[in-house]
Structure 1
Amino acid sequence: MPARSLIIALSFLLWFAFTTTNPLPVASASGEEPVIDIQNEPVVPGQEYYIVSAIWGAGGGGVFPGRTVDASSCAYSVLQSGNDMFQGAPLKFHVKGTSTGKIYPGSTNLEIEFVHKPACAESSKWVAAYDESGSSWSVVIGGPEDHPDSKLVSGVFRFEALGFGYKLVFCPYSTVIRSSGNCYDVGLDVANGSRKLVVRNQNSGNPFWLVIQKVASGKGKFSII
Structure 2
Amino acid sequence: MRLEDAAYYIYKFYENDFERQKNADIALIRREIAGIYLPQPHIVLDFETTGLDPYFDEIVSWGLFYSNTALVAVRLNDSEDSHNVLIESLKNMIRNLNSKQAPKLQLWAFYSAFEAKWLSEVVYNNRLEWPFELRELKQMRGRLTDILPLPFDDPITGRNVPLVWRKFTRTGDLAYLSLIVHHNYADIVREAILWALLKNKAFKDFFADGDYIIYYDEDEELEG
TM-score normalised to structure 2 length: 0.29
More helix, by proportion:
2
More strand, by proportion:
1
TM-score normalised to structure 1 length: 0.29
- Determine which structure has greater relative contact order: mean sequence separation of CA pairs < 8 Å that are 6+ residues apart, divided by chain length: 2
